[in-house]
């Protein structure tokens, strides 16, 4: 099966790739497609459509990322010791190592970005623009990276207009990638700014969802609790930022390192604000994207000291700091996401039960382990019309017309559409509970399996 993946989005990425392979088109405006195209190509070439392929892509991407950090530092500094320190810091960073075996987009995107930055520092701007452009089509964080790099080129262009051709070499592939995505979303939504609304609407939905659970007052009061419980993450991030700032003041190679520093600075601010709106102060999933930049800055900061003893001390402190922060985060993160294990167990049970018909389900982990054909999956969002009518007869007719035999209820992302099923007991005579009592449930994120009998 490709091994267990504790992060739920990994199964979502797998599902989107399977859809791309079997349907031959990309119909999503919330997810960027390049990562899935690469995974899809390798799945077709190997004949393996499990999580194994995206996991292997992450493993190879992480190994090459360590090499890229070494090569980038070697381009900036004449000392191999600096480059080696950066590569070692990244290769032993626990969060980066752990994410390196997940079927997620982060590590793959990091690799493409680092290749782009390597060519940027080497002043091969066309190649840099091509790889940054590909990263722009993989995740949205590289849109920030691309903007920072463009601003630095504009700064140089104002001083030396002879750089105009180099500026265009970088700009054109990045612009083409961005505009292709904007036009694609426009073709699907009819709105030129649809790509922005897709992201902002999801953020508003997440925030409102949290507010409805705690109440508006409770939402803001709970921020204080989150600030205290996740204070270690904030402190750790601020310390890293402070050390990076010291680098700007003390390092003689600061002009070459400026773009990397300001990518880190800009993303640190933007990610922190975005994470705050999600009721976390500094979400570590964002910091995973920034870890390579952090290790580059850490290595260069340590090397500003001429005294070898001070250099070694700084390297050890960074290694301990990066490790400690990750261990703290991993303990919190795993405790909050182990519902995936319960969903995988439910999927394995359902695999031996399912015989025919369509399934209403939004748990991609359940779909993966049940091995239900994706052509038989319907999202809860296809039932959104029911929230306005609440008509049982219409619901029964819809289920019959769409040949729905099972409903797999989870609280996220749209379980509220059929709130009549949220307690594990159906309010409808034609929908009966099907999973055995022996099947364990996560206390916060339960999963219930219902059989439709029409």
pTM of the entire predicted model:
0.83
| Tens place of pLDDT per residue across the chain (454 aa) | 556 667 778 888 999 999 899 888 787 777 889 999 999 999 999 999 999 999 999 999 999 999 999 999 888 877 787 788 888 888 877 778 888 888 889 899 999 999 999 999 999 999 999 999 999 999 888 888 898 899 889 988 888 888 899 999 999 999 999 999 888 888 877 776 666 655 555 555 554 544 444 444 444 444 444 443 344 444 455 555 555 555 555 555 555 667 777 777 777 666 666 555 544 444 556 667 878 887 887 777 766 666 667 666 766 666 666 655 555 555 444 544 567 888 888 999 998 888 889 999 999 999 999 999 988 999 998 999 999 989 999 999 999 999 999 999 998 778 889 989 988 888 899 999 998 877 888 777 889 999 999 8
Tokens of 336: 């909050």
DSSP 436: -
Residue 321 has a pLDDT of 61
Domain extents for the chain? 8-337, 339-452
| Euclidean distance between CA atoms 45 and 433, whole angstroms | 41
> At CA 264, angle to CA 326 and CA 83, rounded to 5?
75
32 CB-near residues (< 8 Å, 6+ apart) = 136, 137, 138, 139, 140, 181
- With residue 448 as reference, give the H or E element that holds it: strand 447-452
Tokens of 194: 């649809």
| Euclidean distance between CA atoms 268 and 239, whole angstroms | 12
- With residue 449 as reference, give the H or E element that holds it: strand 447-452
One DSSP character per residue, 158-222 reads HH-GGGHHHHHHHHHHHHHHHHHHHHHHHHHHS-TTHHHHHHHHHHHHHHHHHHHHH-HHHHHHH
Residue 260 has a pLDDT of 77
| Euclidean distance between CA atoms 302 and 282, whole angstroms | 25
| Euclidean distance between CA atoms 359 and 375, whole angstroms | 10
| Euclidean distance between CA atoms 277 and 300, whole angstroms | 33
Cα atoms found within 13 Å of the Cα of residue 370, Cβ hemisphere only: 27
Residue 220 has a pLDDT of 42
Cα atoms found within 13 Å of the Cα of residue 439, Cβ hemisphere only: 20
Residue 112 has a pLDDT of 96
| Euclidean distance between CA atoms 367 and 74, whole angstroms | 46
Question: How many other C-beta atoms lie within 10 A of the C-beta of residue 78?
Answer: 9
Residue 291 has a pLDDT of 81
DSSP 411: S
């Amino acid at each position: 099966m490709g091994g267990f993946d504790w992060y739920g989005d990994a199964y979502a990425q797998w599902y989107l790739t399977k859809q791309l392979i079997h349907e031959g088109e990309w119909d999503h405006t919330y997810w960027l497609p390049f990562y899935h195209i690469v995974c899809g190509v390798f799945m077709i070439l190997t004949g393996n459509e499990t999580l194994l392929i995206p996991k292997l892509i992450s493993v190879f991407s992480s190994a090459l990322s360590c090499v890229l950090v070494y090569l980038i530092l070697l381009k900036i500094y004449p000392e191999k010791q600096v480059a080696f320190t950066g590569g070692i810091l990244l290769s032993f960073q626990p969060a980066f190592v752990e994410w390196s075996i997940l079927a997620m987009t982060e590590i793959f995107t990091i690799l493409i970005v680092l290749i782009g930055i390597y060519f940027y520092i080497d002043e091969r701007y066309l190649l840099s623009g091509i790889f940054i452009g590909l990263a722009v089509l993989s995740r949205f964080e590289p849109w920030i990276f691309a903007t920072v790099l463009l601003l630095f080129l504009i700064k140089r262009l104002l001083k030396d207009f002879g750089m105009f051709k180099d500026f265009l070499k970088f700009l054109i592939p990045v612009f083409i990638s961005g505009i292709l995505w904007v036009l694609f979303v426009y073709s699907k939504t009819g709105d030129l700014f649809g790509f922005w609304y897709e992201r902002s609407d999801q953020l508003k939905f997440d925030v409102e969802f949290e507010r409805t659970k705690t109440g508006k007052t409770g939402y803001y009061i709970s921020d204080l609790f989150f600030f205290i419980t996740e204070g270690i993450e904030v402190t750790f991030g601020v310390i890293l930022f402070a050390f990076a700032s010291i680098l700007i003041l003390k390092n003689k190679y600061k002009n070459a390192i400026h773009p990397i520093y300001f990518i880190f600075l800009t993303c640190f601010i933007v990610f922190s604000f975005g994470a705050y709106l999600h009721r976390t102060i500094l979400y570590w999933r964002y910091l995973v994207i920034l870890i390579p930049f952090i290790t580059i800055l850490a290595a260069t900061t340590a090397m500003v000291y001429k005294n070898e003893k001070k250099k070694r001390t700084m390297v050890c402190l960074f290694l301990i700091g990066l490790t400690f922060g990750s261990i703290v985060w991993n303990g919190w993160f795993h405790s909050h996401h182990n519902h995936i294990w319960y969903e995988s167990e439910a999927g394995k049970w359902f695999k031996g039960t399912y015989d025919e018909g369509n399934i209403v389900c939004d748990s991609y982990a359940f779909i993966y382990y049940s091995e239900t054909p994706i052509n038989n999956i319907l999202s809860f969002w296809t039932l959104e019309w029911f929230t306005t009518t609440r008509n049982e007869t219409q619901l029964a007719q819809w289920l019959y017309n769409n040949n729905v035999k099972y409903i797999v209820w989870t609280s996220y992302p749209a379980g509220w559409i059929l709130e009549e099923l949220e307690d594990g007991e159906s309010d409808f005579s034609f929908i009966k509970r099907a999973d055995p009592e022996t099947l364990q449930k996560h206390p916060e994120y339960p999963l219930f399996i219902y059989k439709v009998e029409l």
